[in-house]
Structure 1
Amino acid sequence: MTQAEASITSPAAEHGHAHKAWKWYDYFTFNVDHKVIGIQYLVTSFVFYLIGGLMAVAMRTELATPDPDFIDPSLYNAFLTNHGTIMIFLWIVPAAIGGFGNFLVPLMIGARDMAFPKLNAIAYWLNPPAGLLLLGSFFFGGAQAGWTSYPPLSEVTANTAQSMWILAIVLVGTSSILGSVNFIVTILKMRVPSLKWDELPLFCWAILATSILALCSTPVLAAGLTLLLFDINFGTAFFKPDEGGNVVMYQHLFWFYSHPAVYLMILPIFGIMSEVIPVHARKPIFGYKAIAYSSLAICVVGLFVWVHHMFTSGTPPWMRLFFTISTLIVAVPTGVKIFSWVATLWGGKIRFTSAMLFAVGLLAMFVLGGLSGVTLGTAPVDIHVHDTYYVVAHFHYVLFGGSVFGIYAGIYHWYPKMTGRMMNETLGRIHFVMTFIGTNLTFLPMHQLGLQGMPRRVAMYDPQFAFVNQLCTIGAFVLAFSTVPFLINAIWSWSRGEKASGNPWDALTLEWTTDSPPIIENWEVLPVVTHGPYAYGMNGRSAPAEEEVAVSSS
């Protein structure tokens, strides 16, 4: 028995299941099936997304007026800290990597499960305790030093809550490390023999690059947070300047991870885009190798740009110059992907499904966010707008207009594969329109606020900024209500939606060649790849017939 065959018999055998699908209660257990774990990640992360979103609505309601008349400023600080932390560490990262990565990677490479199924389950179950620690910190005043938790502020405010915050991030970081090892080994060692590297789905390339990046950067954050935890609780002075510590060193340790974290959040989304666009445009992906290698380029160059977050921290001129150049360079492989997606759309037979709408919406949003990112990466502009709402506008366009739009595109695209049901397209289009309008109304005016000098992370501000803030607050409420049609759609469709065929989109990648939802062991017989994953329109085939699938059984 091969390693791949041995690894896949474990889920059903260990749980004593003879049936071909899991029961609903299996999703609430320590289950080692990669598909169950992927859905556990997606559902759990979406719950935290709703919690973090409620915090955002509370903050925007406070910011509708210049005075602190809705929530207490200390509670505002706690919401600010935990909103950012939850959205990054408990929503986008686990949904994009843990959710889609776990569900799709083994299916896309013809494996029966991940390389280390039990380790995979452990990685997921580290996340709920981390979320409970963050929420429990509110009983002790809530961590109030921002999601960056710079010392010395983080060492003197709400110490118990701050310690809980640190422990939560360490748990999530440990989960990320375990998951990264699993993905790397799975992709390198468990592909079916007929799947060549130049036929590997681009989503798998993105997950591979993301995992390498996480393994390189996450331990550095864990080290910095551990030293901070010692400063708060055990009397050390690593970051206490009055006792010989160095606060700037913490910033280096933090940003060495936290800027690559941006790529941890967006690289899997790039992979989703590369799967959604060619399927719904009925056209081969343009520049397959360029997209694949650009993911690896982002992985490498992304480790050398972190100091652009520290241009106002006494950074010497030579360092500013180096990291300005490296920041501009990292935009090149990203631009390669953008141009490849646009070229794929050009001349395609586009189907404006909900998945495609979110993918095209992401293109528009991410380009705008990327342009503001280029300006922030240059030291003269960054020094001018540092810690203003211009920065808030930039990273929300990248992370919400980019990552969240991509997660929605992926859900609409692979929902039939996950559940065996189709989502309602009318509700999906309503969801897209509300999300698109809400995102732009909330974050586009923030560029003006930042250029005019309004600082971020404040509950009180100069009255001259009131009108623009009111526009942003209206947009935040539109954005909040945009989740309602999505929740109705997802919940209703799970039980009563139109039943999906095994391949409702006529896609060519391996995951569409098994049942919807897949059986416990994915395939009765492992597949054999017979043509590329994006061969739309080739050999006279514009829309593959039922028998023209990406694999044949052996």
Structure 2
Amino acid sequence: MTSTTPAPAFDPRVLRAPHPVPGAPNNWRRFLSFNTDAKVIGLQYMITALFFLLVGGLLSMIMRGELITPAADLVDPSVYNGLYTMHGTVMLFLFLFPILNGFNNLLIPPMIGAPDMAFPRLNAAAFWMVPVFGVILMASFLVPGGPSGSGWWAYPPQSIQNPLGHFINGQFLWILAVALSGISSIMGAVNFITTVIRLRAPGMGWFRMPIFCWTAVAAQTIQLIGLPVLTAGAVLLLFDLSFGTSFYRPEGGGDPMLYQHFFWFYSHPAVYVMALPVFGIFSELFPVYARKPLFGYHVVAIASFGITFLSLIVWVHHMFYSGTPQWMRNLFMVTTMLIAVPTGIKVFAWIATLWRGKLRLTTAMLFCLGGVFNFIFAGITGIMLATVPVDIHVGNTYFVVGHFHTVIFSTITYGVFAGIYHWFPKFTGRMMYEGLGKLHFVLTFIGSQLTFLPMHAAGLLGMPRRVASYDPEFAFANVLASLGAFLLGVATIPFLLNLVSSWVRGEKAPPNPWHAIGLEWLLPSPPPAENFEHDVPTVVSGPYGYGLERPLVLDQARYVARAAQGG
């Protein structure tokens, strides 16, 4: 590494001096406090999200236990419908969104050379809304009048019926939780975008920024544009349910279809809010474990905003069978297919990055490879669902359930696991056990294929979704799917064991165990409270210089020395 400006004299005591643990005081109580350190908030998000992953997974185990036989013989069908609704909302609003916000908090500031988030108190407030609306959401299942009949999308008129006459019922609490989730996510989006725009290190232009930061900004742009629409729609739904208004009541001049437009305008782009950061994780990890620069960096970066733009004009394909005019069906069929172009660019870039690379099959790399493999399959079935005739035929069948879970679990959650295994040493100071990690991957990969592939086949044959009982001709596919789901439950055991054991007594991590390039890897493990607290590095080249003469150039000798010490 070289420098464009004279470097200050390097004091070796800098590396030996103790540095404050993020979010001091240095004990577990910092995770229960209103801490404004982004690294502590990031870990708070992730710990909370992993807890709700277990909750949502338990709900799915009960559902798959019901579906292992054709008859409804484990739980009452109305209870099954409630489990269906709660599983979907817990996994989306209490697992995936929070855990990705955790990655944003942990990675964005050190990746761009910032000391912290732009608005630390707003950041902490956004997190502490998560356990609040989490409790409200879980209570909605236990309170009479819960959201069992309206599904996780809460379509009126089912969602605005109040036969018990209670002002506060389960449906009220469910809608309130969704609205609070929207407010929390909007607060986070403002913070993340402002941080990237205003707090980048000297010399870090947009095209010297890691792809993860590009994808984070692209995803949070969707949040700022689309989420207020869903939040407003949920508030209007709340008014219709409890205050006698008629925004969606046909008898009062309202239109129930209006809610579907509000809901899907955000809820389909929400898939890309979750997928884009995972695309960023893939783009960060493939160069590290292939020892090659990311292929087509500039195009991959721009493609992130191509996905953002196109994701906002595809929502009507969820309403092809809701009386949508044919001209509108044709228009949104085309826009839905077009989104395959920027996503295909990313897949091509990842494959080209891997081509002839010096691959290291660590646990993180295996989850990345598995995630891309599954995403290619999900992309093919997504193009099928974009076409009007196919979508009308299979739109309310298990084909959609299989496609959706291949995206949400077999792609996005795989990417989440990859990111945890990759950055765990950096933010905890401990190494995870590779043996347990690879066992986790093998069980997860087999379990996910066994769970979701049979759903596609059953759906093409006509098995409807959202049912507790079904025709015996679909029994074999459901037995396979249930066995696969139980295997996924077993797969969480080595993961949790690895997570807890590594954090408590794992091998101490060096600053850069993966020999990676990037500002976050120039920090100690774990980083100090203010990241680059002594001097902010000046960046004079791009982020993916693997195999190049000048991979990353900084003007601070101490950070050069730290990188050398870490390998």
The two structures have a TM-score, normalised by structure 1, of: 0.94
Aligned to 2:128: 125
Structure 1 position 528, deviation (Å): 2.1
Structure 1 position 549, deviation (Å): 7.2
Aligned to 2:155: 150
Structure 1 position 548, deviation (Å): 7.4
Establish whether residue 75 from structure 1 lines up as the match of residue 79 from structure 2.
Answer: yes
Correspondence list, 1:229-244, <5 A? 229-244=238-253
Correspondence list, 1:427-506, <5 A? 427-506=436-515
- Residue 21 of structure 2 contacts residue 526 of structure 2 at CA under 8 Å; is this kept in 1? no
Greater mean alpha carbon deviation, residues 279-288 or residues 151-160: 151-160
Aligned to 2:10: none
Distance 1:156 1:397 in 2: 33
Q: 1:381 to 1:427 in 2, by over 3 A?
A: same
Structure 1 position 238, deviation (Å): 1.3
Distance 2:498 2:538 in 1: 35
Aligned residues: 532
Structure 1 position 28, deviation (Å): 1.1
1:538 partner SS: coil
2:538 partner SS: strand
Structure 1 position 541, deviation (Å): 7.7
Establish whether residue 42 from structure 1 lines up as the match of residue 52 from structure 2.
Answer: no
Aligned to 1:61: 65
Distance 1:87 1:328 in 2: 27
Aligned to 1:86: 90
Q: 1:419 to 1:372 in 2, by over 3 A?
A: same
One-letter amino acid of the structure 1 residue matched with residue 152 of structure 2: W
Aligned to 1:511: 520
- Residue 224 of structure 1 contacts residue 250 of structure 1 at CA under 8 Å; is this kept in 2? yes
What do the CA deviations read for 1:115-156 (whole angstroms, capped 9, x no partner)? 000000001011101110111112214321211111111122
Structure 1 position 551, deviation (Å): 11
- Residue 37 of structure 2 contacts residue 529 of structure 2 at CA under 8 Å; is this kept in 1? yes
2:200 equivalent among 186, 191, 213: 191
Distance 1:223 1:378 in 2: 30
Establish whether residue 299 from structure 1 lines up as the match of residue 302 from structure 2.
Answer: no
- Residue 531 of structure 1 contacts residue 550 of structure 1 at CA under 8 Å; is this kept in 2? no
Displaced runs of 4+ in structure 1, greater than 6 A? 548-552
What do the CA deviations read for 1:365-423 (whole angstroms, capped 9, x no partner)? 11111111110011110001011000000010011011100000000000000111110
Establish whether residue 26 from structure 1 lines up as the match of residue 30 from structure 2.
Answer: yes
User: Where in structure 2 are there 5+ consecutive unaligned residues?
Assistant: 1-18, 553-558
2:321 partner SS: coil
Aligned to 1:393: 402
- Residue 63 of structure 1 contacts residue 469 of structure 1 at CA under 8 Å; is this kept in 2? yes
One-letter amino acid of the structure 2 residue matched with residue 533 of structure 1: P
1:422 partner SS: coil
1:525 equivalent among 515, 535, 538: 535
1:360 partner SS: helix
Q: 1:388 to 1:548 in 2, by over 3 A?
A: farther
Distance 1:484 1:266 in 2: 25
Distance 1:340 1:28 in 2: 41
Aligned to 1:169: 178
- Residue 529 of structure 1 contacts residue 550 of structure 1 at CA under 8 Å; is this kept in 2? no
One-letter amino acid of the structure 2 residue matched with residue 111 of structure 1: A
Q: 1:153 to 1:513 in 2, by over 3 A?
A: same
Distance 1:32 1:189 in 2: 18
Q: 1:525 to 1:155 in 2, by over 3 A?
A: same
Distance 1:295 1:73 in 2: 42
- Between the aligned residues of both structures, percent identity stands at 53
What do the CA deviations read for 1:490-542 (whole angstroms, capped 9, x no partner)? 00000211111001111111101111000111123222224321100012989
- Residue 269 of structure 1 contacts residue 406 of structure 1 at CA under 8 Å; is this kept in 2? yes
Establish whether residue 139 from structure 1 lines up as the match of residue 142 from structure 2.
Answer: yes
2:105 equivalent among 102, 117, 121: 102
Structure 1 position 196, deviation (Å): 1.9
Distance 1:450 1:59 in 2: 17
Structure 1 position 550, deviation (Å): 7.4
- Residue 420 of structure 1 contacts residue 517 of structure 1 at CA under 8 Å; is this kept in 2? yes
1:529 partner SS: coil
Distance 1:324 1:50 in 2: 36
Distance 2:258 2:36 in 1: 40
Distance 2:171 2:21 in 1: 46
What do the CA deviations read for 1:203-240 (whole angstroms, capped 9, x no partner)? 00000101111000000001111111111101111111
Aligned to 1:10: none
User: Where in structure 1 are there 5+ consecutive unaligned residues?
Assistant: 1-17
One-letter amino acid of the structure 2 residue matched with residue 328 of structure 1: M
- Residue 113 of structure 1 contacts residue 521 of structure 1 at CA under 8 Å; is this kept in 2? yes
Structure 1 position 270, deviation (Å): 0.5
Structure 1 position 359, deviation (Å): 0.1
Distance 1:301 1:197 in 2: 21
Distance 2:359 2:345 in 1: 21
Aligned to 1:8: none
Distance 1:461 1:549 in 2: 61
- Residue 324 of structure 1 contacts residue 377 of structure 1 at CA under 8 Å; is this kept in 2? yes
Aligned to 1:420: 429
The two structures have a TM-score, normalised by structure 2, of: 0.92
2:516 partner SS: coil
Aligned to 2:274: 265
- Residue 517 of structure 2 contacts residue 551 of structure 2 at CA under 8 Å; is this kept in 1? no
Establish whether residue 282 from structure 1 lines up as the match of residue 285 from structure 2.
Answer: no
1:242 partner SS: helix
- Residue 295 of structure 2 contacts residue 350 of structure 2 at CA under 8 Å; is this kept in 1? yes
- Cα-Cα RMSD: 1.8
Aligned to 1:250: 259
What do the CA deviations read for 1:432-491 (whole angstroms, capped 9, x no partner)? 000000000000000111011111011011111111111110000001110100000000
Q: 1:236 to 1:515 in 2, by over 3 A?
A: same
Greater mean alpha carbon deviation, residues 530-539 or residues 114-123: 530-539
- Residue 64 of structure 1 contacts residue 469 of structure 1 at CA under 8 Å; is this kept in 2? yes
Distance 1:139 1:188 in 2: 43
Distance 1:494 1:71 in 2: 38
- Residue 428 of structure 1 contacts residue 489 of structure 1 at CA under 8 Å; is this kept in 2? yes
Distance 1:269 1:482 in 2: 21
